Structure 1
């Protein structure tokens, strides 16, 4: 029987292995730059995000990383799903759906206004799955990011007189 639960510190090595599997699937292994300690501290000490895991026969077979957001227009919070991953041999068994339903229930229980996430444009199996569950693509916004050197340059604007 599959069980979805909140991750504990004891799960961290299994989660990190799965994060690296996801990065490989997404052709982004070179983007994984964290140390195991940094990852663990970010989740369990700094509380930057929460992780749900799916356990089967005492093995972690999937995970969902999420964090809280806020909508000024709704005047309430939401959940952003950073990662959703299920090991390939366990896909098409309802586990991804159970993860998303669990997150939706958290939204309902906590009176949050929405659940949102991104999906790579080439990931057609995942897109079809999400659309089937009622997700909609937002084509009226661009997703912007500043990181690395550009992040430092932006912060350095505060030093300009």
Structure 2
């Protein structure tokens, strides 16, 4: 709750910039899979517009997607598009640290193709995680992400969470994009 309150001026500016550059509908809602395979609605700032609801659920987004505006590109590069997920943390859908949540279509696909992927759902999903601070974001190896996520779960500690949060803060100062 304190993080959301501290971030509220940034959230307001982001919403205003997106509204002015891309029109109405600054928040994006998407079904994701959390702990125990439970579905929840993830919130993000809208950085691009899919053609259909099916496309939003089944299309893998890439860094230089032509559907992304300049404002959306900036939001993604700086991870500002993820800030509304603080609400998901408050609601209990997510934790600050844990494996990143994925869409049901991809969870089913990755669970069949990559041993250990489904085991990531033993713990609440997070706003950031060990795989992300290792650079495994966007179009990177799903197998490597699952390996880091499962390592994180198997070796969980409060100290590790604090280190991941600190490394995330450093990554935000030096954004590389997703």
TM norm structure 1? 0.29
Higher helix share: 2
Q: Which has the higher contact order (CA 8 A, sep 6+)?
A: 2
